[in-house]
Amino acid sequence: MTTRTTDEADPRTAPSPLPRWRADLRLGSRIVAMRAGGLALAVRGDPVARLMHRPWRLDPYPTYARLRAAGEASGGVARSRTGIRAVATHEACTAVLRDRRFGVRLADGRMPFDPTDDASTASGGPSNHDPTDPGTALIEPIDLSLLGLDAPDHTRLRRLAQPTFAPKRLAQYRETARAVTGRLLDGAPADGPFDLVSALAAPLPISVISELLAIPDVDTPRFAAWGRVVGAALDGVRSVRHAHALSRATADLRALFADLVERRRADPGEDVISQLVHALDEGTLTLDELVSLAQLLLIAGFETTTNLVGNAARALHTSGTWDDLVADPGLAAAVVEETLRWDPPVQLTARFAHSDVELGGQRLRRDTGVLVLLASAGRDPAAHPDPDRFDPHREQATTHLAFSGGAHYCLGAALARMEGEVALEMLAERRPRLRPAGRFVPRVATVLRGPRRFGVRAD
């Protein structure tokens, strides 16, 4: 699903290197061709292609409704001309996520997506990445750690990461979240406009996850920029410029964590990296696995939570329920759940059939990709009455799939919930007159949904 770029091709498979500008040109043409193909399908009405393209991508919920309806006629599984299937109801999404006949890789263990394919989340077929082609040699699949692993490697690494999220640690992170939110709100203007994302929604989770990983001297704007670049790559590489930015970001992240590993080896602490270094020395994981896992924790830990806070603040205002939260800041936990159901930060994921399987009465061939539309499940009327209404007072909102399900259920779910709750509660207490003022600028993304900027004021 995501991609890693590299400036150096594997000397065993690479042909004689092309000048950079020619490689860029080839890559650029390939990306444009892929995008044009996807857009043509979207214009012709293909719902899966529409999820990847403007203007439909800006409000995907009508497309999800179409996919749920299309799925009803075919056992919950909708087809698309892109070749991929999509499941859009709560029941069908849950079934695929829990089904052990599906994995995040292809049946033979290869990464599924062609990294040059912008609509790759839609195509879902086996990779046609050609390592001997200089046009694609610039990019190779990014190492997504847990998110890109099936058992048994997934089980082994997940077990190592799990203690970081133990409930007793959560209390400590809550203190950090409260202190950081207080400091950030002190810095947000009480008498003029400000951007809620850069003032609170982005720096709060960056601070918390940096404490969790014990990263010294955190450079918040730099981390936020890495997160934007890597987060956008969840949809595939968008342009040559994006490919280069991704290459730099992943190299920087690797250098940061490689350095941190050395420091913790010399001076171990209670943090997650120190625990993982211990496992490294015992031979339970490799250095590459350690660095990728730390990178995943960092990026997964703040890109998503930033969206949660931004989407919640927006939903409270568009639904007219902000004053309910101000009257009772204790409602914040329910607001978080309702936001996760109604407009979740991670909209979808994908799984691949590891054998020929029967799903919803349809026969899927081995390696067929299935998009699991987590956000659509939250709007399924069979699971949630009056699903398009944002209502923090509703019951049973926790049945959403915003944190996925099955083997890859989000490790940071409790942490994210806590951060969202602290941010919203303190925002309502400290800035009760908060209201939109200026633009809500959405991310350019399909998988991640949330604001890049959200202009507000509170005087």
Q: How far is the CB of 85 from ligand HEM (least distance, A)?
A: 16
Amino acid at 34: M
To ligand HEM, the closest distance from the beta carbon of 35 in angstroms equals 24
The residue number whose beta carbon is nearest to ligand HEM equals 412
Q: How far is the CB of 184 from ligand HEM (least distance, A)?
A: 17
Residue bearing tokens 């292809």:
106
Give the whole-angstrom CA distance, residue 352 versus residue 105. 6
Distance of closest approach, residue 374 Cβ to ligand HEM, in angstroms: 6
DSSP 448: B
Interacting residue ranges for ligand HEM, rule: CB under 6 A: 146-147, 158, 209, 296-297, 300-301, 304-305, 308, 344-346, 349, 374, 402-404, 408, 410-412, 415-416
| Angle, alpha carbons 426-432-434 (nearest 5°) | 100
Specify the residue, 173 or 457, whose C-beta has the smaller distance to ligand HEM.
173
Which stretches of 362-446 are assigned E, i.e. beta strand?
362-364, 369-372, 435-442
Which CB, 247 or 306, lies closer to ligand HEM?
Answer: 306
If the CB atoms of residues 136 and 295 are measured against ligand HEM, the closer one turns out to be 295
For residue 455, the SS3 value is strand
Write down the least CB distance from residue 432 to ligand HEM, Å.
Answer: 24
Closest to ligand HEM by CB, 351 vs 431, is: 351
Q: How far is the CB of 413 from ligand HEM (least distance, A)?
A: 7
φ and ψ of 6, to 5 deg: -145, 145
Query: Which of 31/348 has CB closer to ligand HEM?
Result: 348
**Torsion angle, alpha carbons of 42, 43, 44, 45, to 10:** 60
- Between CA 146 and CA 142 the distance in angstroms is 12
Cα 340 to Cα 399: distance, rounded to the nearest angstrom: 10
Shortest reach from residue 220's CB to ligand HEM, in Å = 16
Q: Within a 10 A sphere around the Cβ of 7, how many other Cβ atoms?
A: 14
According to DSSP, the β-strands at 349-353 and 369-372 are antiparallel
Tokens coding 459:
């005087």
Element (H, E) at 414: helix 413-430
In this complex, which beta carbon is closest to ligand HEM, that of residue 244 or of residue 454? 454
The nearest distance, CB 410 to ligand HEM, in angstroms, is 3
Nearer to ligand HEM, 373 or 426 (CB): 373
**Comparison of 3 and 305: residue with beta carbon closer to ligand HEM:** 305
Pick 134 or 378: Cβ nearer ligand HEM: 378
d(CA 162, CA 184): 29
Shortest reach from residue 158's CB to ligand HEM, in Å: 5
CB 57 within 8 A of CB 35: no
Task: Judge contact between 31 and 237, C-beta under 8 A.
Answer: yes
Strands (E), 299-400: 349-353, 357-359, 362-364, 369-372
